[in-house]
Structure 1
Amino acid sequence: MGSITRLHERPRPAPLRIASDEEVLTAAGEVIALGTAAPAAVLVEALVRSGLLAMSIPSDFDGADVSNGLIAQVVSQIAQVQPAAAHALVHHFRALELVRNAGSEEQRRSIYLHVESGERLSCGGVGEHVASQRYFTDGIGFRLSGALEAASLGEPDWFAVLANSEAKVLSLLLVQRGSTRTELVPGSQPARYRLDEAHVPADAVLPLHKDALPLSQSLGTILLASAILGEKRQRLAADLALWRGGVRSGERPWDERIGKLQVDTEILAALIDRAAVALDLAQVNPTPAGVSDAFRSATALEFAALPAGDRARDGDRLLAQLGRTLLTD
């Protein structure tokens, strides 16, 4: 099977090659230093140049393969100054986790090389972990049918889409930017793009391996919670600054409000660390027990990260999902 190729190439800044945890934190610090007012285009260029987009590539493919805890730390820190950039990174790394557990070694190596050159991925189907799309034989490739949305900081180079074949084989399809019509969803943050039917070359269809979905879902949950944690920490810092500056108005006593934010951040930070370690172990040795532990930890984290307004809608579903992982072990 041939390597994944682009329809066109365009100049881009040469990314740094990250090889250690210290280099990851240094690169993240440079992105964070751009501050809250940096335009999206500047952030995209900085992220591409930083080398952070490739930090989760496995060591078997000459990547840094940093821990999930460190990726979570980077996402959380960036979320404190640029929430849209942090949420776009969540989708990029969730897509890369699907790549880790899909296709042939040659296919994986090919897309990793694209990412190392600074290209960005986004998961099609914002917030979804299941396939709602179908793909069909179309000449020497395949045709992806059905519209969906994908979130990204600027239009991504690749849309990573879960879809079922005519024979109900679940695969990861990598849809190249420019190969299908995309439309920006007005007012979305991070930017969301709608895409419709697309032709996908055969070498850009990667059948999923066992455990690909729970591992990718677990990472996505960890990183989304990390982005939420960063935003909560920023809110806590802002409230403390207002209090110290003499502002006293509010819907509830300030000590209670600030105390709740502190408890929320402590709980999220602890659960993120627990889930990240469990996922590290499952990636290295994907035993059924290890994958189940990672997924269970991520599900508990997802429940804890729910905004209060979403508990009534999603809380029971997550609790039932968590209970099933315990009852079926």
Structure 2
Amino acid sequence: MTSYQSVQTKQTSASGQAHIIQNDAEALEIAKQFAEQFKKTAVERDSKRILPYTEIDALSQSGLWAITVPKQYGGAEVSSHTVAKVIALLSGADGSIGQIPQNHFYALEVLRNTGTEAQKQRLYGEVLNGTRFGNALAEFKTKTSTHKQTNIRPHENGYLIQGEKFYCTGSLFAHRIPTLVLDDAGREYLAFVKSGSQGLKLVDDWSGFGQKTTGSGTVKFDQVFVDADDVIPFDTAFLQPTLVGPFAQIMHASIEVGIARGAFEESLQRVHQARPWIDSNVETANQDPLTIYELGRIAVDVRASEVLLKQAAQSIDAAKIETTPESIAKASIDVAKVRAHSSDIALKASSKLIELAGSRGSQSQDGLDRFWRNARVHTLHDAARWKYYFIGNYVLNGVLPPRRGTL
């Protein structure tokens, strides 16, 4: 598929026969198997911008996209740490593929908080059957990222949506596109729009130099109808203390932790193939003392991000059990710590990969630059400097972090 075109969705319809994962261990084992497969073809997908329709279909049919469905609705309801590790594993193999499920899980978390019982039963059931959610949240043409213009108005037994969205990661592969909309009173809702709806147009115009195959293009709505039963409140998920924001952020951190780990492991292989620096007076690059020093630093940094990720996930799960403004604030701060750290380390580890691989590491056929490009583009979601600010204001002045998710 070429870039910059209006596209018809290529995803298969949910078959109703997707595998249902039973527990955390099974989810991690399946994710490891897919990561090994995806790593083999990641360079080609990135260099030729081959959108991963087949890979995404296989992931959802494996049951991985249903692992957050609560047990009472038939899902595994795995821990937040397992979700984070699944995303990190996939991102270490292919940063684009690792990002695509993030908005799907985000929509499921909003549903858990603000959906009705009937909506949960129906939409969770669809996901267990293999349905994938994309997203249409952000807008590109407004003055700031907080301003939204896409609107929803009543029409017969549902609503009509008018507007345009950008950075719609995963929508090209989705069966439903959760869309952030405003009504005439200024209330925000999330509308689970069916792919293929009349008036819905998906434009494959994502041109980022990294995360090239996330399908993060434009979605246009021209009086698109959505059933009333497919619309849930969105703003209430942030008017009161909920875990929607921390859960969204930890998945973004997981992408960067995965990229950092992938770049580090690639560095270990490439150093064994590189030539030593002329002044090192050693025979092989893996004996170069300064190379060993640099790899030691990266090893510590990557592991630190992984530990921070685990701690943040544990804080989220603890807040699910005892939900208070304080427990949610702690989860938010712990997530901010890994979010800030992983942004720095993903960039550092991916840059060091190219440096330590030597001049041959710059050859396009090896695609080593994809780690840095993916990290650089993904870290633009949220500025690490603001994460450090919120952390500092919390530990110094006791100021709780803002309640909001990420777009």
Say if 1:135 and 1:163, in contact at 8 Å, map to a contact too.
yes
Instruction: Give 2:258's aligned residue.
Output: 230
Give the 5 Å matches for 1:249-268: 253-268=290-305
Q: Distance in 2 between matches of 1:31 and 1:328?
A: 39
Report the CA distance between 1:185 and its aligned residue: 1.9
Deviation digits for residues 256-314 of structure 1 (CA, Å, limit 9, x no counterpart): 43234223212211111111011112223322222221112122222222246779x92
Instruction: Give 1:134's aligned residue.
Output: 151
Instruction: Give 2:189's aligned residue.
Output: 171
Q: SS at 1:240's partner residue?
A: helix
Say if 2:174 and 2:195, in contact at 8 Å, map to a contact too.
yes
Q: SS at 1:306's partner residue?
A: helix
Deviation digits for residues 27-63 of structure 1 (CA, Å, limit 9, x no counterpart): 2233224232177133123202211110001122221
Q: SS at 1:145's partner residue?
A: strand
Task: Report the AA paired with residue 321 of structure 1.
Answer: F
TM-score for both structures, normalised by structure 1: 0.85
Find 1:215's aligned residue among 238, 243, 250: 243
Say if 1:95 and 1:216, in contact at 8 Å, map to a contact too.
no
Task: Report the AA paired with residue 177 of structure 2.
Answer: F
Deviation digits for residues 220-250 of structure 1 (CA, Å, limit 9, x no counterpart): 2212211211211121111111222243469
Task: Report the AA paired with residue 22 of structure 2.
Answer: A
Which segment is superposed worse, 72-81 or 145-154? 145-154
Report the CA distance between 1:111 and its aligned residue: 0.8
Q: Which has the larger radius of gyration?
A: 2
Deviation digits for residues 170-189 of structure 1 (CA, Å, limit 9, x no counterpart): 22211111111111124433
Say if 2:110 and 2:237, in contact at 8 Å, map to a contact too.
no
Q: SS at 2:69's partner residue?
A: coil
Q: SS at 2:90's partner residue?
A: helix
Residues 45, 314 of structure 1: alpha-carbon distance in 2 compared, 3 angstrom cutoff:
closer
Find 1:147's aligned residue among 164, 178, 181: 164
Instruction: Give 2:127's aligned residue.
Output: 115
Give the 5 Å matches for 1:26-37: 26-36=29-39, 37=41
Which segment is superposed worse, 175-184 or 316-325? 316-325
Which segment is superposed worse, 157-166 or 274-283? 157-166
Deviation digits for residues 130-160 of structure 1 (CA, Å, limit 9, x no counterpart): 6724322234322333211210184211112
Q: Does 1:185 align with 2:188?
A: no
Which segment is superposed worse, 262-271 or 62-71? 262-271
Report the CA distance between 1:214 and its aligned residue: 5.3
Alignment identity in percent?
A: 20
Structure 1 gaps of 5+ residues are 1-8
TM-score for both structures, normalised by structure 2: 0.70
Instruction: Give 1:79's aligned residue.
Output: 91
